[in-house]
Amino acid sequence: MEDKSILILGGTGKTGRRVAERLTKLGHKNVRIGSRSGAPPFDWENPATWEAAINGMDAVYITFQPDLAIPSAVETIQQFATLAHNHGIRKMVLLSGRGEKEAQACEQIVMATADNWTIVRASWFNQNFSESVFLPLILAGQVALPRATALEPFTDADDIADVVVESLLDDRHAGQMYELTGPRLMTFPEAVAEIANACDREIHFQALTLEEHAAQLRAYQLPEDYIWLVNYLFTEVLDGRNARVTNDIEKVLGRKAKDFTAFARETAATGIWTPSIQTIDTP
């Protein structure tokens, strides 16, 4: 394969870190991490940092923080995609939000701007329970969330990263839109029960209303923009629109998507869900 120079935005995040690791293991020597701590640094909130990160790159993996759903995302993605194209980046792979109409507007921008594009849609990650917002709740043994009956095909970040790497390196994926899901639908209580079983702990699930959940987040003194985003995701994305599975992971990778049970067992073995070796903080 041609050794492309590839910029990974969100290169220290759940999928970006995995994409960068895979590219490096494949022998790609010019993989640039786009993050505030990168060299050069990249900050979505500071467009003055973008050009230095873009210069000399052939391709870019775009992950947007905090989420493509926020009101400023469309304008920001338009500005970035135009700048990247004008500086010679021809391949753009966008991580998009499954079932988010705002994310779809950003998809259209990338599709209209890039010479060679791939859209990768996903929703709730398995790793939200182990590397992100739900980890403190798992450690505390008490998970309180809304939408307890909503069905979601939780998707593994390793699967997403594998699809992104294929999309970056193989032009057979040019002009393709992939919707990535796990192999089955689950509720949040079912996912928590799987984790409890895998790590042999009692972890209780409490169903909340959306209003109760927002009040709980405010009690933790979390920022209002964060509370708005979480409420949006639970309200809009978990309304049933994503309650179906696809075979796009198998179509791209030639293997089945990772099941949540396998994720839970592998993660439990690392000890990340063992309270004695973790500091339990509020989410």
Quick one: pLDDT band at residue 3, thresholds 50, 70, 90?
Answer: confident
Q: What residue spans define the domains of the chain?
A: 6-123+156-181+243-257
Instruction: With a cut of 70, say whether residue 133 has pLDDT above it.
Output: yes
Match 């309304």 to its residue by tokens. 239
**Average pLDDT, stretch 33-43?**
97
Match 């991580």 to its residue by tokens. 95
pLDDT tens per residue across span 229-246: 999 999 988 999 999 999
Out of 150-159, 212-221, 269-278, pick the least confident.
269-278
**Average pLDDT, stretch 36-52?**
97
| Overall size of the chain counted in residues | 283
Quick one: pLDDT band at residue 116, thresholds 50, 70, 90?
Answer: very high
Contacts of residue 97, Cβ cutoff 8 Å, sequence gap at least 6? 67, 68, 69, 103, 121, 122, 123, 237
Q: What CATH homologous superfamily does 6-123+156-181+243-257 map to?
A: NAD(P)-binding Rossmann-like Domain (3.40.50.720)
Quick one: pLDDT band at residue 223, thresholds 50, 70, 90?
Answer: very high
Q: Identify the pLDDT of residue 14.
A: 96
Q: Identify the pLDDT of residue 274.
A: 94
Measured CA to CA, the distance from residue 86 to residue 72 in angstroms comes to 22
**Average pLDDT, stretch 271-275?**
95
Q: Identify the pLDDT of residue 2.
A: 65
Q: Identify the pLDDT of residue 279.
A: 45
Q: Read off φ and ψ for residue 193, nearest 5 degrees.
A: -65, -40
3-state secondary structure labels for all residues of 151-183: CECCECHHHHHHHHHHHHHCHHHCCEEEECCCC
Q: 37 is written with which tokens?
A: 């701590």
Q: 133 is written with which tokens?
A: 């917002």
Q: Identify the pLDDT of residue 193.
A: 98
Q: Identify the pLDDT of residue 220.
A: 87
Contacts of residue 158, Cβ cutoff 8 Å, sequence gap at least 6? 18, 258
